[in-house]
Structure 1
């Protein structure tokens, strides 16, 4: 439900003041048989106050000062039995709400003091109870205006904090997307370089394998182009999918097939029934891509096996090879750090160790229902 605007609330308040003051004033003037000049002045004051309230948001200080003067005139010049000048109470609340505290204190204080002094001098019947009620009403109007000001101020601070956090989250998301795109393109370009080199070398000796290598270059370029387009879509549209469409588990066969073009016996064992969250798919795909790239470039392996399986609430990905393995004194490279960061980013983990095939095993355990 949409909340009414401040102007609409003020307009309704002004209308309520008019309905309270004007009819009561007219009826009271007729009942008492007032002089037409006094009756006209009384009715004019009853109408002028609510009308002036419509300007209170834009000019709260001058409006509350004018309303104080109108209320003072109403008290001193019109019958005691007339209606209370409720427009002043609304004007005080609005003025305090919008920060016109000095205007309110000075104008209302002077009007109250003048009414007491002049009324006493002229012999007006100031009953102590009436003075106490009027003073309490003025104080209550100030209190209500102050409470509204404090509440709305806190709401504004909360709204600003929410916007700040959203901006920080958006910047973090953009950095994450940029980092992912950079890593992806670096991997693709490295593979393109390797495949193109292999294709050039094999075109004369083994045209069939050379053609396969060049087809692999074409596929890699197409995948990279698709991912760039998807990431640009994410940055351009808030409702765009957060995960590039090509970086999912159904693309693992293509990824494994690409490893075969290097002469590897590459195998894929997909034991999944159902699909995990897209964030988990994206991370698993990129980890598999990085692991296969490491096997091709560094492992000197002949066999590589990729396995994906669900284990409870986790997606488990393993990449095993029969290459030279990891030496005890080997330093952790940037590829391993990148894979570990991808797993950690969605609440998973990654281990690198010895494989039963004799080489290296990369094992990633990712939350099945991960949220990016």
Structure 2
């Protein structure tokens, strides 16, 4: 059973919680810099006229409550949440006596901009960024029009942090979308590869059997009145081949129905079943001579199945197109590769037949295994099919 690994601890923290943490971090920093800390001759920032009084603390309490409300709204309603956070940042400046919205009061807004840009549409993120920058510019404009001091350079630095927060969130969203696109492409490719694999298995399973059945049926029809025993034998062979083919199709369709990709490959025949294929083909009227070279040894399943299917399809083409009664199969077990060759001396086509899937399927099998494949008429007549299947270090 597939088990999804848990997310990293920091990713399990919701965006609203990060926003609240950013607000409280800014609030604690705001108080700290208004005290004389060890090693300092005085506080880094002078407190406002009523910063430590009840009315100043009330403004900070109200803005903090608004920040918590915004944190609750952020996952479901990001734009209203950002508006509430911006209002909290402005209200928090009332008791501070500052000429700009400090970065400490804007940290929660930066956190919200990051999550909005990372988790929502690009248009939503851009609107959120423009809203935050508009509030910063509006705060300075009001102070300038009122004749109060305005910290323009400091506010530009705060605006820069807002842009950076948006850019980081935007890049995270793009990376996630790219990963999702790659996953969708990989899934579509896997589905296409699986369909191609199953279509090859179905073709290889059916094509040879139908060819043999057609040949046996024709022979039985010709001798049914003159040699009834031979006709009966041919019909028995047809029944055997039909049952075996039907059984193979049932196994394959059952594996497809249950979504098990390994069963068709495991149930597929290999080179150990070559003698039965040769016997069936011989009964159909085409004598197959098999030559095995090198040291016989177990092969990786994908090599074993592909080699068998290549030989099966090549023999099927001999039965259907060559017009000969003999063919030769050579299997060479080498140290680093397996080579397969099927030769016939018939009157097959002078060039590979077009419109069929047999040669294409063989070529695709070999290509997937990083091997080489050739199929062409022989100089002295007949046809030659050859495949080289490399054995990697993992499959030797």
Task: Settle same-fold status: TM greater than 0.5.
Answer: yes
How far is 1:77 from its partner?
Answer: 3.8
- Match of 1:291? 314
How far is 1:34 from its partner?
Answer: 4.0
Distance in 2 of aligned mates of 1:106 and 1:294: 72
* Contact 2:51-2:95 at 8 Å conserved across structures: no
1:109 aligned onto 2:109: no
Q: Which has the larger displacement, 92-101 or 64-73?
A: 92-101
Matches within 5 A, 1:76-95: 76-78=94-96, 84-85=104-105, 86-95=107-116
1:342 aligned onto 2:362: yes
Distance in 2 of aligned mates of 1:56 and 1:143: 20
Indicate the SS of the match to 1:76: coil
Q: Which has the larger displacement, 295-304 or 277-286?
A: 295-304
Indicate the SS of the match to 1:64: helix
Distance in 2 of aligned mates of 1:115 and 1:336: 76
How far is 1:224 from its partner?
Answer: 1.9
1:14 aligned onto 2:19: yes
* Contact 2:288-2:326 at 8 Å conserved across structures: yes
Cα distance 1:359–1:90, how it changes in 2: closer, same or farther (>3 A)? closer
Indicate the SS of the match to 2:329: strand
1:247 aligned onto 2:269: yes
- Match of 2:342? 319
* Contact 2:29-2:104 at 8 Å conserved across structures: no
1:58 aligned onto 2:76: yes
Distance in 2 of aligned mates of 1:275 and 1:335: 35
Structure 1, residues 116-172: CA drift from partner, whole Å, max 9, x if none? 63488485x76x5xx533431232122222232134214313431441353145235
* Contact 2:347-2:381 at 8 Å conserved across structures: yes
Distance in 1 of aligned mates of 2:246 and 2:84: 69
Q: 2:191 aligns with which of 158, 164, 170?
A: 170
Matches within 5 A, 1:86-235: 86-97=107-118, 98=120, 99-114=124-139, 117-118=142-143, 121=146, 128=151, 132-175=153-196, 177-178=198-199, 180-182=201-203, 184-199=205-220, 201=223, 205=227, 207=229, 209-210=230-231, 212-232=233-253, 233-234=255-256
* Contact 1:223-1:246 at 8 Å conserved across structures: no
Distance in 1 of aligned mates of 2:263 and 2:64: 61
1:368 aligned onto 2:390: yes
* Contact 2:281-2:288 at 8 Å conserved across structures: yes
Q: Which has the larger displacement, 81-90 or 150-159?
A: 81-90
- Match of 1:258? 280
Distance in 2 of aligned mates of 1:268 and 1:317: 11
Cα distance 1:8–1:219, how it changes in 2: closer, same or farther (>3 A)? farther
* Contact 1:280-1:366 at 8 Å conserved across structures: no
Distance in 1 of aligned mates of 2:231 and 2:10: 71
- Match of 1:333? 353
RMSD of the TM alignment (CA)?
4.1
Q: Figure out how many residues of one structure are paired with residues of the other and give that number.
A: 360
Distance in 1 of aligned mates of 2:158 and 2:270: 68
Distance in 1 of aligned mates of 2:352 and 2:89: 82
Structure 2's unaligned 5+ residue stretches are: 35-46
Cα distance 1:352–1:162, how it changes in 2: closer, same or farther (>3 A)? same
